């Protein structure tokens, strides 16, 4: 296993602006001060991984004067400084310059990149390797470029894993399939109850939480993200086995939820299908396969006169208005002080999740857990069109689930020439 480690915010608690002059190379690095800011468990993690035969490298954006002294005197690890994340050119050149890395890179499962910001996650995605977003500190500052202090931005770049300490990171490295997100694990033959913790809102009398079970990748990513499976949901030819796998991922997470005996969940429901939905009963078929001890009910109904589609609404505001107008909670249920779980297929703009939570709370619901099968991660591509030189995007054939590069033309809201290139061996 090759483990790429970010430095500041991952090995050392040095994201504060106090350290900026050192990181920029305009002030001497106070090595004894830096030693005091090494995260608990960092040195033990490195020692343990080296004993296991894994290879570790520091990949940092900071100045060589700063990285060199820390990498050599504290961690005793080889390094790449001024990495220019998320640009992958220097990282790729670094990999090609070291024979063991070059050989290992033929199988991307040999690699994992660990870091605390979207820059690290984006770099890992462009390299098509797995990533771990660390949460080893609480930021007291907002740093625009790195996204420090902006948890939503980090999540939207789609890390493979999340680690809150080095023990958790050790577990991820040793058991990678068991630590995938719940839905992603199922399609790799594994079992996991891991989810993306998108939002948690505490209320005076309860809470609202939004959770996601898989990433719908838009562009370069590791092979575990599941855009292909998301698009199969809309395929009329989808198999029962496929639907059952989706339901298994929900069931695996619900086992964990039900095991937390703080209170009882009263209802398990789903975002109902419109009469125009194709295939018919798209979500109901998945919902019916979910296994849970929580009473299953249908809480929501679409207006029979609904016009248009939610996905065609241009922004969050119009999506909320669309849902408010056409989707409602059945009046026949008494929801006062009830704890309710709702399942949906995708968390994109969050309009559906917030509107449903709002309606349930207006009806008196106390605790609300909104579970989405997928969430859309931000687009990334490192390929230029050989015809016109413009940046190409990765698209997906909705019917077959196959990916391809597209120099998207104007008629499809792009600026390119329309050239396409198939992707036959991504990893």
Question: Are 299 and 335 in a shared domain?
Answer: yes
Instruction: Decide which of 338, 357, 373 is a domain's last residue.
Output: 373
Residues 209 and 352 in one domain: yes
What is the average pLDDT score of the chain?
91
pLDDT interval class at 392 (50, 70, 90)? confident
Could you tell me if 10 and 124 lie in one domain?
yes
Q: Are residues 94 and 166 in the same domain?
A: yes
Share of the chain above pLDDT 90, in %: 69
SS3 45: helix
Helical H segments across 107-233, by residue range? 118-126, 151-156, 166-174, 182-186, 227-232
Q: What is the mean pLDDT of residues 145-158?
A: 79
One domain for residues 295 and 159:
no
Q: Pick from 373, 401, 422: which residue ends a domain?
A: 373
271 has a pLDDT exceeding 90: yes
CATH number at residue 339: 3.40.50
35-47: per-residue pLDDT in tens?
999 999 999 999 9
Average pLDDT value for residue range 413-420? 86
411 within domain boundaries: no
- Indicate the SS3 state at residue 332: coil
Are 124 and 201 contained in the same domain? Answer: no
Q: What is the DSSP string of 205-251?
A: TEEEEEEES-EE--BS--TT--HHHHHHTT-TT--HHHHHHHHHHHH
Looking at the fold, whether 148 and 89 belong to one and the same domain comes out as yes
- Among 206-220, 378-392, 398-412, the range with the most confident prediction by mean pLDDT is 206-220
pLDDT at residue 148, as a whole number? 63
CATH of the domain at 128: 3.40.50.1000
| Sheet strands (E) in 105-153 | 111-115, 130-134
CB 63 within 8 A of CB 82: yes
Q: What is the pLDDT of residue 11?
A: 98
Of residues 225 and 150, more confidently modeled: 225
Q: How many domains does the chain have?
A: 2
Greater pLDDT, 389 or 314: 389
- Output the pLDDT for position 426: 47
State the CB neighbour count (10 A cutoff) for residue 263: 10
Q: Is 249 among the domain residues?
A: yes
Whether pLDDT at 300 is above 60? yes
What integer pLDDT is reported at residue 284 of this predicted model? 94
Choose the weakest-confidence range: 14-18, 32-36, 236-240, 349-353.
349-353
Provide the 10 A C-beta neighbour count for residue 284.
14
Same domain (yes/no): 237, 89: no
Least Cα distance to 116 among 82, 160, 163 occurs for: 163
Task: Tell whether 206 is covered by a domain.
Answer: yes
Mean pLDDT for the stretch of residues 63-73:
98
- Do the beta carbons of residue 307 and residue 332 sit within 8 Å? no
Q: Output the pLDDT for position 389.
A: 86
Domain shared by 143 and 246, yes or no: no
Q: Is residue 218 part of a domain?
A: no
Answer with the one of 326, 350, 373 that is the final residue of a domain. Answer: 373
Give the pLDDT mean for 146-162.
85
CB within 8 Å of 317: residues ≥ 6 apart: none
Q: What pLDDT does 144 receive?
A: 58
In a domain, 318, yes or no: yes
320 and 254 in one domain? Answer: yes
Domain annotation covers residue 110: yes
- Give me the half-sphere count of Cα atoms (radius 13 Å) on the Cβ side of residue 426: 22
Task: Give a yes or no: residue 73 inside a domain.
Answer: yes
Ranking 229-238, 298-307, 390-399 by mean pLDDT, the lowest is: 390-399
Beta-strand (E) ranges in 240-366?
267-270, 300-302, 327-329, 339-347
How does pLDDT run across 95-146, given as a tens digit for each residue? 999 999 999 999 999 999 999 999 999 999 999 999 999 999 987 665 656 6
What pLDDT band is residue 427 in, cutting at 50, 70 and 90? very low
The answer to whether residues 113 and 18 belong to one domain is yes
Name beta bridge partners: 380: 219
Q: What is the pLDDT of residues 348-366, one digit of tens each?
A: 878 889 999 999 999 999 9
Q: How many helices (H) and strands (E) does the chain have?
A: 15, 17
| pLDDT over 70 percentage in the chain | 96
Q: Which domain holds residue 306?
A: 196-213+232-373
Do residues 147 and 248 both lie within one domain? no
pLDDT category at 398 given cuts 50, 70, 90 is low
Q: For residue 243, is it within any domain?
A: yes
Q: pLDDT tier at 222 (50, 70, 90 boundaries)? A: very high
Residues in Cβ contact with 124 at an 8 Å cutoff, skipping those fewer than 6 apart: 4, 113, 115, 130, 131, 159, 160, 222
């Amino acid at each position: 296993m090759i483990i790429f480690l970010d430095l500041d915010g991952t090995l050392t608690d040095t994201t504060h602006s106090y350290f900026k002059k050192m990181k920029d190379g305009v002030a001497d690095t106070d090595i004894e001060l830096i030693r005091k800011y090494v995260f608990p468990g960092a040195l033990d993690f490195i020692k343990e991984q080296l004993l296991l035969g894994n290879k570790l490298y520091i990949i940092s954006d900071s100045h060589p004067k700063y990285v060199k002294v820390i990498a050599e005197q504290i961690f005793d690890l080889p390094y790449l400084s001024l990495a220019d994340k998320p640009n992958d050119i220097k990282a790729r050149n670094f990999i090609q310059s070291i024979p063991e890395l070059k050989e290992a890179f033929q199988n991307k499962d040999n690699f994992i990149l660990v870091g605390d910001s979207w820059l690290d996650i984006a770099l890992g995605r462009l390299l098509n390797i797995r990533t771990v977003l660390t949460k080893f500190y609480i930021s007291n500052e907002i740093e625009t470029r790195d996204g420090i202090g902006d948890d939503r931005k980090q999540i939207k770049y789609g890390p493979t894993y999340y680690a809150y300490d080095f023990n958790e990171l050790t577990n991820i490295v040793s058991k990678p399939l068991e630590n995938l997100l719940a839905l992603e694990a199922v399609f790799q033959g594994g079992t996991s109850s891991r989810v993306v913790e998108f939002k948690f809102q505490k209320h005076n009398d309860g809470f609202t939480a939004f959770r996601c079970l898989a990433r719908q990748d838009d562009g370069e990513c590791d092979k575990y993200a599941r855009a292909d499976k998301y698009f199969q949901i809309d395929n009329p030819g989808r198999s029962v086995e496929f639907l059952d796998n989706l339901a298994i991922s929900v069931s695996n997470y619900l086992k964990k939820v039900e095991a937390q005996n703080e209170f009882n969940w009263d209802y398990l429901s789903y975002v109902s299908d419109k009469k125009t939905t194709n295939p018919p009963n798209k979500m109901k078929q998945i919902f019916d396969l979910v296994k849970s001890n929580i009473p299953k009910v249908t809480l929501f109904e679409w207006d029979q006169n609904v016009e248009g589609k939610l996905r065609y609404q241009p922004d969050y505001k119009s999506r909320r208005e669309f849902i408010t107008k056409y989707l409602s909670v059945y009046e026949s249920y008494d929801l006062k002080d009830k704890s309710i779980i709702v399942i949906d297929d995708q968390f994109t703009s969050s309009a559906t999740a917030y509107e449903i939570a709002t309606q349930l709370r207006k009806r008196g619901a106390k605790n609300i857990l909104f579970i989405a099968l997928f969430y859309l991660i931000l687009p990334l591509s490192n390929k230029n069109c050989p015809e016109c030189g413009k940046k190409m995007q990765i698209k997906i054939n909705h019917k077959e689930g196959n990916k391809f590069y597209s120099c998207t033309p104007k008629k499809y809201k792009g600026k390119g020439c329309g050239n396409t290139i198939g992707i036959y061996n991504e990893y």
